[in-house]
Amino acid sequence: MSRLRAALTPYLLLFPGTLWLAIFFVVPTVVMLSLSLQSGDVVNGYAFTFNWHSYVDGISTYHDQIVRSLVYGLVSTVIQIVIGFPVAYWIAFKGGTRKSIYLFLLLLPFLVSFVLRTISWQFFLSDNGLLLGPLKSLGLVPQDFHILATSAAVIGGLAYNFLPFMILPMYVALERIDPRVLEAAQDLYASKAQTFLRVVLPLSLPGVFAGVLMTFVPATSDYVNASVLGGTSNTMIGNVIQNQFLVNQDYPTASALSFTLMALLLVGIFAYAKALGTEDVLEVAAR
Amino acid sequence: MTEIQAGPGAAVAAAPVSGDVPAIELDHVVKEYVSHGEVVRAVKGVSLAIAEGEFFSLLGPSGCGKTTSMRMIAGFEDPTQGVVRLHGEDVTSVPPNKRDINMVFQSYALFPHMNVWDNVAFGLKRKKVPDAEIKRRVGEILEVVDLVGREKRRPKEMSGGQQQRVALARALVNRPRALLLDEPLGALDLKLRQAMQIELKRIQREVGITFVYVTHDQSEALTMSDRIAVMNDGLVEQLAEPREIYERPASKFVAGFIGTSNLLSGTVQQITGDTAVLALGASDRILVPADGALAAGASVDLTVRPEKIKIAKDQPEGDLSVVRGTVSEVVYLGTYNSYVVRLGDGAEITVFEQNANDSTITAERGDAVWLSWQPWHSYALR
The whole-number pLDDT of residue B81 equals 95
Residues B25, A122: Cα–Cα separation, whole Å: 65
The whole-number pLDDT of residue B5 equals 42
**Contact residues, A window 40-79, toward B, CB-based 8 Å cutoff:** none
**Contact residues, A window 168-207, toward B, CB-based 8 Å cutoff:** 178, 180-181, 183-191, 194, 198-199, 202-203
The whole-number pLDDT of residue B19 equals 57
Closest CA to B178 of B146, B210, B208: B210
DSSP letter at B301 equals E
**Distance between terminal CA atoms of chain A?**
55
Q: B109 and A180: CB-CB below 8 Å?
A: yes
Considering only CB atoms, which chain A residues are within 8 Å of B109?
A: 178, 180-181, 183-184
Closest CA to B234 of B26, B5, B64: B64
Look at chain A and count its residues: 287
Given CA atoms B134, A194, B23, B68 in this order, what sign does their dihedral have?
negative
Q: B74 and A194: CB-CB below 8 Å?
A: no
**For the sheet containing B38-50, what is the strand order?**
B38-50, B24-35, B81-86, B89-90
What is the least distance, in Å, from the CA of B137 to any CA of chain A?
Answer: 15
The whole-number pLDDT of residue A15 equals 94
What is the least distance, in Å, from the CA of B225 to any CA of chain A?
Answer: 24
The C-alpha angle with vertex A267 and arms to B113 and A22, in degrees rounded to 5, equals 100
Q: A282 and B115: CB-CB below 8 Å?
A: no
Residue ranges of chain A whose pLDDT lies below 70: 1, 277-287
Dihedral class, residue B87 (left if φ above 0, else alpha if ψ from -120 to 50, else beta): left
Closest B-chain CA to A194: B126
What is the least distance, in Å, from the CA of A87 to any CA of chain B?
Answer: 23
Residues A274, B316: Cα–Cα separation, whole Å: 84
Dihedral pair phi/psi, residue B374, rounded to 5°: -70, 145
What is this model's ipTM? 0.79
Q: List the single residue in A184, A203, A286 with the smallest CB-CB distance to B118.
A: A286
Residues B277, B322: Cα–Cα separation, whole Å: 11
Residue A63 neighbours by CB distance under 10 Å: 11
The whole-number pLDDT of residue A1 equals 61
At A47, the amino acid letter reads A
B36 CA to centre of own chain? 32
Best of B72, B97, B120 to disrupt the A interface (most A CBs within 10 Å) is B97
Residues A89, A208: Cα–Cα separation, whole Å: 12
Size of interface A-B (CB pairs under 8 A): 67
Q: In Å, what is the CA distance from A141 to each residue of A120, A135, A147? A: 22, 6, 11
Q: A191 and B97: CB-CB below 8 Å?
A: yes
The pTM assigned to this predicted structure is 0.78
Considering only CB atoms, which chain B residues are within 8 Å of A207?
A: none
Dihedral pair phi/psi, residue A148, rounded to 5°: -60, 150
Ranges of each domain in chain B:
24-100+176-257, 262-381
* Angle between helical axes of A151-175 and A99-107 (0-180°, round to 10): 150
Q: B109 and A188: CB-CB below 8 Å?
A: no
Closest B-chain CA to A97: B36
Residues A240, A230: Cα–Cα separation, whole Å: 13
Do B289 and B274 touch, CB atoms closer than 8 A?
yes
Closest CA to B3 of B32, B20, B19, B25: B25
| Domains of chain A with CATH codes | 57-286 (1.10.3720.10)
Dihedral pair phi/psi, residue B372, rounded to 5°: -145, 155
What b/e sequence results for B97-113 when a residue is b if at least 16 CB atoms lie within 10 Å of its CB, and e otherwise?
bebebbbbbbbbbbbbb
CATH code that applies to domain B262-381: 2.40.50.140
Given CA atoms B197, B203, B206, B210 in this order, what sign does their dihedral have?
negative
Do B6 and B239 touch, CB atoms closer than 8 A?
yes
Q: List the single residue in A183, A190, A282 with the smallest CB-CB distance to B109.
A: A183
The whole-number pLDDT of residue A277 equals 59
Do A178 and B105 touch, CB atoms closer than 8 A?
no
Q: List the single residue in B98, B113, B123 with the smallest CB-CB distance to A282.
A: B113
Dihedral pair phi/psi, residue B3, rounded to 5°: -125, 110
Q: In Å, what is the CA distance from A31 to each residue of A9, A23, B214? A: 32, 11, 68
Residues B303, B318: Cα–Cα separation, whole Å: 21
CATH superfamily of B24-100+176-257: P-loop containing nucleotide triphosphate hydrolases (3.40.50.300)
Residues B157, A127: Cα–Cα separation, whole Å: 59
Considering only CB atoms, which chain A residues are within 8 Å of B106?
A: 180
Q: In Å, what is the CA distance from A242 to each residue of B3, B101, B188, B282, B350? A: 79, 65, 62, 104, 87
The whole-number pLDDT of residue B187 equals 76
The answer to whether A279 faces chain B, any CB pair under 8 Å, is no
Dihedral class, residue A96 (left if φ above 0, else alpha if ψ from -120 to 50, else beta): left
Across chain A, the runs of DSSP E, i.e. the strands, are 38-41, 45-48
Q: List the single residue in A178, A194, A203 with the smallest CB-CB distance to B113.
A: A203
Dihedral class, residue A45 (left if φ above 0, else alpha if ψ from -120 to 50, else beta): left
Q: In Å, what is the CA distance from A217 to each residue of A26, A58, A70, A121, B11? A: 19, 20, 9, 22, 73
Best of B111, B129, B166, B214 to disrupt the A interface (most A CBs within 10 Å) is B111
Look at chain B and count its residues: 382
Per-residue pLDDT of chain B in tens (382 residues, 90 and over written 9): 333 444 333 333 334 445 578 999 999 999 999 888 889 999 999 999 999 999 999 999 999 999 999 999 999 999 999 999 999 999 999 999 999 999 999 889 999 999 999 999 999 999 999 999 999 999 999 988 889 999 999 999 999 889 989 999 999 999 998 999 999 888 778 888 888 888 888 888 888 889 999 999 998 999 899 999 999 999 999 999 999 999 888 888 998 898 888 888 888 888 877 788 887 665 677 888 777 677 778 888 888 899 999 998 888 888 888 888 999 999 888 888 899 999 887 888 999 988 876 656 778 888 899 999 988 888 777 6
Closest CA to B180 of A183, A182, A178: A183
